[in-house]
Amino acid sequence: MTKPRTKAQRAERVETILKTLNEMYPNATCALIHRNAWELLVATILSAQCTDKRVNQVTPGLFKKYPTPNDFAAARQEVVANDIRSTGFFNNKAKSIIGAAKKVVNEFGGKVPQTLEELITVPGAARKTANVVLGTAFNVASGVVVDTHVQRVARRLDLTKHTDPVKIERDLMKIIPRDRWILFSHQIIHHGRALCIARKPKCAECKLDPVCYAPDKTK
């Protein structure tokens, strides 16, 4: 496919991408298993440099041992670190989770805040994590989640030229309608896992192939 040259052509291509994603992943949602916003926050913190599959193996026992933010806030860091050891970077993650629990309990009445401005003050909840929690738990479109899959796929689809997650998010927020930010993030993440993988993307199986001109496309 030749690159669209006009603003109208670029907008039409984005709309085609969105429609195709709807066909491919109509029910895409967060892969992290959770029952409430607090559990999603913890799971998202654990997911850094770790697969969602591994996190989902750890969290059932973790939440049984620590049912509420109060339980985490009262826990010892070395104990929590041992509980989450298999997720990697366990000392830092334990520190963040306990810090988040104390912040949520002491400043937000035990409830995860529902605004980006408040949520990013919680330890372990940088912008990406905040966007995940707000979008999935509260249906608040605060931004576009940019993880490694979104970084890769957005660049391949020429939706951004940047490598920095913050700059990628800004580019995506400009061209993706706000009411699609949450679903778009889930769909692109699923697409990155299923077909648009880092090495040898499965282009022959991809419905986006006609509107994709990534330099590393496979035949």
Catalytic annotation, residues: 128, 147
Cα Rg, the chain, nearest whole Å? 19
User: Exposure pattern of 10-49 as b/e (b: 16+ CB <10 Å)?
Assistant: eeebbeebbebbeebbeebebbbebeebbbbbbbbbbbbe
Please say whether the dihedral angle defined by the alpha carbons of residues 39, 41, 44 and 45, taken in this order, is positive or negative: negative
Which ranges of the chain would DSSP assign to H, the alpha helix?
Answer: 7-24, 37-46, 52-65, 69-73, 77-83, 90-107, 116-119, 127-138, 148-156, 165-175, 181-194
